[in-house]
């Protein structure tokens, strides 16, 4: 049975722990968690999930054959460098935004087996859309294990690392863009006299239904849009307003800008590493 050590105890680490336990993939005895200084947070996780917690990180390095780095990017260099003397073939999984596999390997002091993952906040309800990329050193068995691990918190897609910046924009930042759309729809409903609770319920069900329809029907979004749109009808009127505000172009630019920023963060951390 594998044992997994979490270096960092934030919300994403907790979501992964919850998924692992709920799926039965691991028991609480197989999960060890540490962080830098927040003892109260470790006590919370121990009480909530029964996992092992310890500030003595050497214990984690000796026990775990999978190490998950769930640190803040600014703590990556110190956090991963600390592992260097204790590596003995463990699989390293990084959920650090903006830190490339090459940079992680540099911090770790060698060509370690590294899986770089980009889950999103929907991991909290086991509905994440996660993209992962693997280094050449990762074996097929390790890759399978990583996929299984992230499947406990949602859907997993294995990609080339060059595509992870786009994954960050679409799947990582994407929920925020959808929530912003919902804010606008709620505001519109409110200005038409609908109470917020009713509007929220209708909008949530509409989005969930539309997503399921797109996934299950096998049809393209443009086709589904046209099926709803009648000439001279309400949908056409609304779509014409969106077109007047160049809605589609704004969304395309939004994704491109977020992807560009992800690339800039990659470059920033890479540059700081090799100075």
The secondary element (H helix, E strand) that includes residue 12 is: helix 11-23
pLDDT for res 1: 55
Q: Would 146 be classed as within a structural domain?
A: yes
Q: Are residues 24 and 71 in the same domain?
A: yes
Does 166 belong to an annotated binding site?
Answer: no
- Together in a domain, 99 and 55: yes
pLDDT digits (tens, 9 = 90+) for 81-134: 888 888 888 899 999 888 899 999 998 888 899 999 999 989 989 999 999 999
Q: Mark which of 159, 193, 212 sits at the end of a domain.
A: 159
Q: Are residues 96 and 230 in the same domain?
A: no
- pTM here is 0.86
Q: What CATH number did the domain enclosing 39 receive?
A: 3.40.50.720
Report the number of distinct structural domains present in the chain.
2
Mean pLDDT of 124-153: 94
- The reply, when asked if residue 72 is annotated as ligand binding, is yes
Q: Which among 86, 92, 84 is positioned nearest to 8, based on CA atoms?
A: 92
Structure-token pair, residue 129: 């859309």
Residue 274: what pLDDT? 59
Q: Is 73 annotated as a binding residue?
A: yes
- In the chain, helix, strand, coil percent, each to 5? 60, 15, 25
What is the side-by-side strand order in the sheet with 66-69?
A: 52-53, 31-34, 4-7, 66-69, 91-94, 114-118, 128-134, 154-158
User: Among 134, 159, 184, which residue terminates a domain?
Assistant: 159
Same structural domain, 28 and 72: yes
Mean of pLDDT values over 218-241: 97
110 marked ligand binding residue? no
| 214 annotated among ligand-binding-site residues | no
| Integer angstrom CA distances of residue 119 from 57, 92, 127, 155, 179 | 25, 16, 10, 9, 17
Domain membership flag for residue 165: no
pLDDT of residue 54: 80
Question: Which residue range is the domain that position 206 belongs to?
Answer: 172-263
182 is in an annotated binding site: no
Residue-wise pLDDT tens digits, 34-91: 888 788 999 999 999 999 988 766 777 778 899 999 988 788 888 888 888 888 888 9
Could you list the beta-strand ranges (E) of 138-179: 154-158
Task: Tell me: do 17 and 127 sit in the same domain.
Answer: yes
User: Is 70 known to sit in a ligand binding site?
Assistant: yes
Which pLDDT score, from 0 to 100, does residue 150 have?
95
* Residue 9 placed within a domain: yes
- Report pLDDT for 85: 82
pLDDT digits (tens, 9 = 90+) for 172-205: 999 999 999 999 999 999 999 999 999 999 999 9
Tokens 């540059």 locate to 271
Which DSSP string corresponds to 62-80?
HH-SEEEE---GGGHHHHH
CB 265 within 8 A of CB 179: no
Mean pLDDT of the chain, nearest integer? 91
pLDDT for position 56? 66
Instruction: Give the model's pLDDT for residue 61.
Output: 76
């Amino acid at each position: 049975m594998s044992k997994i050590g979490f270096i960092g105890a934030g919300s994403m680490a907790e979501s992964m722990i919850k998924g692992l336990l709920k799926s039965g993939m691991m028991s609480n005895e197989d999960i060890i968690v540490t962080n830098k200084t927040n003892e109260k947070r470790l006590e919370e996780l121990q009480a909530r999930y029964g996992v092992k917690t310890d500030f003595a990180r050497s214990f984690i390095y000796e026990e775990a054959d999978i190490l998950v780095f769930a640190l803040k990017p600014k703590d990556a260099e110190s956090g991963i460098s600390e592992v260097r003397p204790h590596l003995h073939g463990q699989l390293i999984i990084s959920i650090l935004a903006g830190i490339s596999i090459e940079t992680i390997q540099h911090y770790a002091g060698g060509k370690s087996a590294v899986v770089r993952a980009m889950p999103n906040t929907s991991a909290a309800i086991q509905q994440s859309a996660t993209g992962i990329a693997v280094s050449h050193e990762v074996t097929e068995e390790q890759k399978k294990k990583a996929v299984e691990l992230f499947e406990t918190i949602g859907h997993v897609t294995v990609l080339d690392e060059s595509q992870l910046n786009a994954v960050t924009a679409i799947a990582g930042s994407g929920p925020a863009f959808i929530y912003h759309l919902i804010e606008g729809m709620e505001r519109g409903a409110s200005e038409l006299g609908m109470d917020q609770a009713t509007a929220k319920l209708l909008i949530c069900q509409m989005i969930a239904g539309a997503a399921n329809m797109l996934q299950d029907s096998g049809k393209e979004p443009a086709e589904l849009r046209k099926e709803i749109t009648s000439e001279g009808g309400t949908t056409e009127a609304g779509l014409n307003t969106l077109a007047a505000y160049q809605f589609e172009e704004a969304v395309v630019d939004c994704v491109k800008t977020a992807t560009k920023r992800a690339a800039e963060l990659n470059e920033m951390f890479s540059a700081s590493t090799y100075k």
